[in-house]
Chain A
Amino acid sequence: MRMSGLRPRISPLTFTFVLIVGCLTVGPVLMLILGSFSRGIGAFGVFTVEKYIRVYTDPSLPKILLNTAAFTVGSSLFATALALILAYLNVRTDIPLKGLFHLISITPMMIPHIVFATSWVLLLNPSNGILNLLLREVLGLKSSPFDIYSLGGMILVEGLLDLPIAYLIIAPAMASFDAALEEAAWVSGGSKFRALRRVTFPILRPAILASLALVIVRSLAAFAVPSVIGMPGRVYVLTTYIYRLISLGFMPDYGRAAAVGVSVLVTSTVLVYVYRRLTARSERYVTISARGYKPAIIGLGRWRYPLSFLTSLLFLVLIVIPVLVLLYVSLIPYVMPPSAKAFSMMTLKHWNYVLHDPLSLRALRNSVFLALVGATLGILLSTFVSYIIVRVKSAGSALLESLAFFSFSFPGLVIGIGFMWFFVRTPLYATIWALLIGYIATYLPYGIRPLTSTFIQISEDLEEASKVAGGGFLYTFRRIVVPLAIPGIVSGWILMASMFLRELSLSAVLSRPGTEVLAVQILRFADDSLWGQVSALGIVMIALSTTMVTLATLVGKHIGKSK
């Protein structure tokens, strides 16, 4: 028996999940803030502002802030501009090979950032980058023409990595937009280019700004590119600065790291807020106008094939070349350009090393465990949370939604430091469970997003019919809600598992001897310039992600069919 009072109260179920999600998302932020005001990791709660004073008067900080600004804004502009061109070509023109454009949205799940960054180091580093060596040989140059270890190099690689995010924001906006507006501009006598500049661009402005904001958030949180490309070139940004505070010297200083982290978190949260405001508006725009027309397709004429060649080249750069470079480097004894000599020297020694290295094997085991178990637990939590967000209309469920999406703005490294302040005080410290909890907390929105949109599409009648037929809450959940939500559950699981498999920034803080994970192990090999091992392990990571994504997709299709 249940009584509902006149005022809507928080039901025990909603309350439980508000508590769980609150601990996962607000918990580490609170610990981060408290930690930043504490005397030390061993003296938690002993109040001091010393950490803030020390870190914000550090004479190297202005340069780091400048680097961070250039890096984030640069990669954001680069990724967004490229995404605009690609989206326009795909959605609005008759360019051939449109299937390639779909690949762009799933690439990031296949090739982990750290692996991608490493393959660019292998190609373009000044001392023995393969492309540099080739060009020196061919053009007879004394020094390498490219230096990846620079701000420019970082922007290039981070921009390419964030291109899919920008594309996924801009392409739908482009597709849903009324070509009649453009046609009206041509008819009134303007040129096509003028129409593009005066009509198309302003209408796309919310999507463009959203893309800019989100890519800045991502590159602000980025750790793979700054550590693999930035650190060797001594180009430090905030994440690598924080990482140095906790990994170098005799005493890692989690207090100072937290004090810097707080401002990174605040910046990130503000930008995510801006992003969500912008997309809320553009989504509204999309729903109003999505009915009944197709955007006019523009003939490219003689530019059709040259442009198609350029985009194909881009996909080559994004997908094929990184994989080939890694495969090649994993099979040669030391880095050299491809030649008859190189192929004659091919060896499996790096593979042998990696596959017998206890650290690498343990990292592999841990990462697979975290991906499988973590994604399963994560998606279980996401399913309940999304269900409450969509179906229970109360103040409690609105609170749950804000809490769940809060972690969307978490830079992994910073939130890892918050978690560190917490785990150090528990028996979870240095266990795989610490990583598991951290992963789920940080990546919760990636499970919740596909599931909320799935639940919104499931008519409430179907559940009510089950209740009337005699099914209780859990029975209905098991037999009606979950089977109907399987597509969303599977895509959420894939997303979470592939993110957990390659997780780097949170792990860089929380991983301890015994809880190594793949990405951290690759980072270690890269620090020691063991490029063969880096490549072999990188290939293992790509193969695992790809298998996992493929398997889960097949399973999802099978379940979808048999039910």
Chain B
Amino acid sequence: MGTRSPQHRNGMEIKVSALTKIFRSPSGEEVRALKEVDLTIPANRIFTLLGPSGCGKTTLLRCIVGLEVPDSGEIAIGDTVVWSKKQRIFIPPNKRGIGMVFQTYAIWPHMTVFDNVAYPLQVRRLPREEIRRRVRETLKFVKLEGLENRPATALSGGQQQRVALARALVSEPKVILFDEPLSNLDAKLREETRRELRRFLTELRITAVYVTHDRLEALTLSDLVAVMREGVVVEVGTPLDIYFRPKHKFVADFIGKANFIEGTVESTSEDLIRVVTPMGPIACRRAEGLTPGQRVTVCVRPEAIAIDRPGDTSGGTNTFRGRVVSLLFVGENYEGEVAVGKTILAIKTNPAFPIGEGEEVSVYIDPAQCHILME
């Protein structure tokens, strides 16, 4: 990296309190896009807002940058309150000092690459020489050096994406926001760009807020993930927490395929918790605050279920007899369903393992991967 690249800055914390946003259609219908959202986005982390479309994640992002005006609540960036209903404060987006990468990139088609990136500095009326130097450094950082004089529209999708990133970074913002920046790229380029973006952001050590509906993107890119649904933040955690130790069924379901088995807590002694379910007793990983007799849901990821020839290990902990109901070849493995009694479990197996539909199998679930949902 160059000697004075735009990295190693200190970002700022973003604090969102009781934020509500209501959209009104011309016919007078009200849609509550955000419902009393409380959220602290820590400084210098990559923070992802994840959720299905219509969950309010983009609205929250647009409220933070100032393109949308909330109906109540408060937003603070660092020590500055940028929006507060009570204090009657609204700092317009052009005064918030935030960088943003748009879903469509929003590259200005009538300008060159240089002008696109220089724009935030030109607005601030910096000296010409400084503008040129900083644009050059930023373009070098995003690996676009030498393309200054190209018309911005003559670039490929991935390059345009990096122009958008350079433009968001050039004025050294305290916070950078991403609104589904990879959704316009094709699958292969998306994977490449995702990895690159992760590297850029790790080097920058800046507060980044990233909006996506793609769980893979959220898991690979983020330090922290907030899962949203219907205008509410359901759960915040690290990618590993969210994937392996979700608290809510919605989160477990949204972040990846999962089996949900209803049951009753039998005993909470020892290291494991025994839950009685229709398919038999299941030993689960420890969880706090459970009492015998409580109704719970056990969450098991398909990849945590091991399939074997029937017979040899039957009767052991978390070992069940089942029958293969369906099997679907999807490339790297088979996705299938196994019936244990009346319970149908989604499974994943190695294609090298020879089983067929209708066959009897033995099913083993590692207790460490049986997770009790608190919901």
Contact = CB atoms under 8 A, between A and B. Distances in A.
B171 A461 contact: no
B106 A3 contact: no
B71 interface: yes
A1 B91 contact: yes
Contacts of B224: none
A465 B110 contact: no
Interface string A536-563: 0000000000000000000000000001
B94 A467 contact: yes
A472 B103 CA distance: 22
B89 interface: yes
A469 B90 contact: no
A483 interface: yes
A563 B90 contact: no
A244 B44 CA distance: 80
B67 A468 contact: yes
A434 to B, nearest CB: 38
Q: Assign chain B's interface to a size class.
A: 20 to 34
Nearest to A560: B110
Interface residues of A, number: 24
B90 A2 contact: yes
A355 interface: no
Interface string A109-137: 00000000000000000000000000000
A6 interface: yes
Contact of B104 (A2, A461, A466, A479): A461
A459 B92 CA distance: 20
A2 B100 contact: no
A349 to B, nearest CB: 52
Interface string B106-119: 10111100000001
Contact of A3 (B88, B100, B120): B88
Nearest to B70: A4
A1 B90 contact: yes
A329 to B, nearest CB: 48
A2 B92 contact: yes
Interface in B285-340: none
A563 B98 contact: no
B99 A468 contact: yes
A4 B90 contact: yes
Given A461-B102, A475-B123, A469 B171 contact: yes
Interface string A175-198: 000000000000000000000000
| Interface-centre pick from A4, A462, A468, A470 (highest chain B CB count, 10 A) | A468
A321 interface: no
A1 B100 contact: no
Interface in A259-301: none
B20 to A, nearest CB: 11
Interface in A455-478: 459, 461-462, 464-472, 475
Given A1-B89, A484-B110, A468 B124 contact: no
Contacts of A475: 123
A468 B110 contact: no
Q: Please provide the 4 A-B residue pairs with the shortest distance between their CB atoms, ordered closest to farther.
A: A461-B106, A465-B106, A469-B120, A470-B123
13 contacts: A1-B90, A3-B88, A3-B90, A462-B108, A464-B106, A467-B66, A468-B98, A468-B99, A470-B95, A472-B92, A475-B123, A484-B110, A563-B111
Interface of B: 24, 65-67, 69, 71, 88-100, 102-104, 106, 108-111, 119-120, 123-124, 167, 171
Interface of A: 1-4, 6, 8, 459, 461-462, 464-472, 475, 479-480, 483-484, 563
Given A2-B92, A468-B93, A470-B94, 10 more contacts: A1-B89, A3-B90, A4-B69, A4-B90, A465-B102, A468-B67, A469-B119, A470-B123, A472-B92, A563-B110
